Amino acid sequence: MRGAPGGRGDLPERSTPTPPGEDGHARGHTADENSGSVPERERLTAFPGHDSADGYGGHGAAAGSRGQHQVTLRSPAELADALPYLLGYRPEDSVVLVAVHERDGRGRFGGRARLGIPAQDDDWPAVAEQLAHGLVTGSERRGARPESMVAFFCQEPRHGESGRDVMERLRPLAQLLRLACGRFEVPVVEALCIADGRFWSYCCPGDRCCSGEGEAMGLPGTSVLAAATAYAGLQVRGTLRELRVRLTPWENAAAPEQEAALGAADSALLPRLLRDESRAEVAEETLGLAGRLLRRLADAPPVPGTLQADLRDDELVDQEEAAALILGLQDRTTRDRAAEWMEGEEAGPALRLWRTLARRCVGSYGEHAAAPLTLAGWVAWSSGDELEAREALAMALAADPDYLFARLLHQACNEGLDPESVRRCLRAEREDHAAPAAAGPGPRGRKDRTGPGRPGRPRRTRTEKGPGARAARRPAARSGARRRPHDSAPPAGQGPGRGTDAAGGKPPGGAVQGADRGSGGRVEAEEV
């Protein structure tokens, strides 16, 4: 693959998913492709860039086949169309960097990283440096340093702007990113701005091949790549914003009533959670209620559409039940037990329940959403949905940056670790505290293991500085300011976090936690 360190040169060709193999199943994901819809055995090959004439007809060139199961992308238009299939969703207000690995004159896409575009351009140098550093070093950790990069800048026009205005406004960010990648000696061979249904190339040498008004994007789902992806049984979702809505607390007329229910449950349960002698009883009550709600959700007939499905689930869980569960899950031992609903027929209803509870953490109880969001992220990851897993876990860390279980899972998911190691730990825990007298059948027909610990041995309560540690750090001037048990590091070999010890206890290297700096709400790398 040709390409100069300054960022000009050959563009990568993108091939489509391989159709199902002889066993009738689509191929799995490779180790360096941890997000999106890209299956294993996809390939890239080099093709000439903007200033070359051999074999490349410019931006309008058509795609052609190079093999029975390969579609070659010959133009930036096709590269722009490929972005949702690389990520598995349609990015908004985002800068996306994609690694390209070359082998015998052909290549393949590797890791991808996405950051929200900060509203303040003062933050752009740090974002460019973080994005380049995170993707290059992350690829090196996987043993494959990229030979080149492709960058995408996606943002819709502000009020009074045109798509061309967006392209010009983001040009300094594109240059900063190209320079940052150049410092790692990895050239950016193509950089596309996608706005208002059109795209522009920052690598184009002039008006010879690119219109100043940009080129129109094709209709979604009409390209050869889209057809091949659909044939492979892969799905491209909507936007991250649509996904986050399913996990975001209510802001409707029912929110004050839910907050009042949370206040009542807080007054009733918090004193019991703070006493060792009653904490086990609260755990049993919480897990018993969760088991009943899981069966209720599992028995409900399906409805079409995510919005209607979420509204139906909201109707199935009343305010008092949601409040009791949210408060009960603030105890870490109880939360760890709830994480055991993670696979098989239990996973679907569990994920729906945790989403429902996350939407109920309204008003002053926003920090309490860390527990159900972490459980939602864990079940999604365990079920193979890394996109929702990363979003849910990132939202959990936004609700409580000190929530260690979310931090460990988020890093493990981003680094492409296998969730089976965590599942094994939780299965062992489930077997350990199976009691002879179980409460009843669970969603999968098992006995409902809702006991607080192993028979004959009290389960240790794992708090860092006492149950009231978090309360000491939180203002209590208004009645809505609540306390909840602190989530702290588990002892070695204890709890589901032990399955992610390889990830360490640090936040993902690509994450910038903190203020609302972009139109997407936070600046955070999805994958490195």
Question: Helix or strand or coil: residue 64?
Answer: strand
Tokens (6 digits) for 22 = 């002889």
Confidence of residue 171 (pLDDT cuts 50, 70, 90): very high
Q: What's the pLDDT score for residue 524?
A: 40
Q: Residue 262 pLDDT more than 70?
A: yes
Q: Residue 451 pLDDT more than 70?
A: no
Q: Which region holds residue 210: left if phi is over 0, alpha if psi is between -120 and 50, else beta?
A: beta
Q: Residue 9 pLDDT more than 80?
A: no
Q: What's the pLDDT score for residue 435?
A: 54
Tokens (6 digits) for 420 = 């089976």
Question: Helix or strand or coil: residue 388?
Answer: helix
Report whether 3 contacts 10 (CB < 8 A): yes
Q: What's the pLDDT score for residue 78?
A: 79
Q: What's the pLDDT score for residue 415?
A: 82
Q: Residue 335 pLDDT more than 70?
A: yes
Render 224-291 in DSSP notation, one character per residue: HHHHHHHHTT------HHHHHHTTSPP-STTHHHHHHHHHHHHHHHHHHHTSHHHHHHHHHHHHHHHH
Q: Residue 155 pLDDT more than 80?
A: yes
Render 178-230 in DSSP notation, one character per residue: HHHHHHTT--EEEEEEEETTEEEETT--STTT--TT-EEPPPTT-SHHHHHHH
pTM over 0.95: no
b (16+ CB within 10 A) / e for 424-444? ebbeebbeebebeeebeebbe
Each residue of 202-232: pLDDT tens digit? 987 765 666 778 888 877 766 777 777 777 7
Report whether 262 contacts 326 (CB < 8 A): yes
Q: What's the pLDDT score for residue 484?
A: 52
Q: What's the pLDDT score for residue 208?
A: 62
Each residue of 106-122: pLDDT tens digit? 667 888 899 999 999 99
Q: What's the pLDDT score for residue 27?
A: 27
Percentage of the chain beyond pLDDT 90 is 46
CA distance 66 to 224: 13
Q: What's the pLDDT score for residue 338?
A: 95
b (16+ CB within 10 A) / e for 334-357? bbbbbbbbbbeebbbbbbbbbbbb
CA distance 318 to 274: 26
Q: What are phi and psi of 65, to 5 degrees?
A: -90, 140
Q: Tell me the CA distances in angstroms from 247 to 24, 178, 366, 388, one per residue in order.
A: 35, 35, 12, 10
Each residue of 406-438: pLDDT tens digit? 999 999 998 888 999 999 989 888 888 775 445
Q: What's the pLDDT score for residue 18?
A: 30
Question: Helix or strand or coil: residue 467?
Answer: coil
Q: Which region holds residue 9: left if phi is over 0, alpha if psi is between -120 and 50, else beta?
A: left
Each residue of 73-104: pLDDT tens digit? 667 887 888 888 888 888 989 999 999 988 76
Q: How confident is the model over 120-135, as a mean pLDDT? A: 94
Confidence of residue 177 (pLDDT cuts 50, 70, 90): very high
Q: Residue 176 pLDDT more than 50?
A: yes
Report whether 12 contacts 107 (CB < 8 A): yes
Q: What's the pLDDT score for residue 35?
A: 39
End-to-end CA distance of the chain: 23
Confidence of residue 381 (pLDDT cuts 50, 70, 90): very high
Each residue of 285-305: pLDDT tens digit? 999 999 999 999 999 998 998
Report whether 39 contacts 17 (CB < 8 A): yes
Q: What's the pLDDT score for residue 456?
A: 33
Q: What is the mean pLDDT of the chain?
A: 73
Burial class of 220 by CB neighbour count within 10 A (0 to 12, 13 to 18, 19+): exposed
Q: Tell me the CA distances in angstroms from 103 to 100, 108, 528, one per residue in order.
A: 10, 8, 21
Report whether 521 contacts 116 (CB < 8 A): yes
Tokens (6 digits) for 436 = 């002879």
Q: How confident is the model over 377-387, as a mean pLDDT? A: 93
Q: Residue 43 pLDDT more than 50?
A: no
- 159-163, 338-342, 463-467, range with the lowest pLDDT: 463-467
3-state SS record for 333-387? HHHHHHCCCCCHHHHHHHHHHHHHHHHCCCHHHHHHHHHHHHHHHHHHHHCCCHH
CB atoms within 10 A of CB 333: 20
- 25-29, 123-127, 153-157, 161-165, range with the lowest pLDDT: 25-29
Q: Tell me the CA distances in angstroms from 281 to 286, 339, 476, one per residue in order.
A: 9, 18, 27
Report whether 73 contacts 79 (CB < 8 A): yes
> Starting from the edge strand earliest in sequence, which strands make up the sheet with 44-47, in order?
11-12, 44-47, 106-116, 94-103, 148-154, 188-195, 198-201, 215-216
Report whether 373 contacts 330 (CB < 8 A): no
Question: Helix or strand or coil: residue 304?
Answer: coil
Which comes out higher in pLDDT, residue 333 or 229? 333
Q: What's the pLDDT score for residue 495?
A: 36
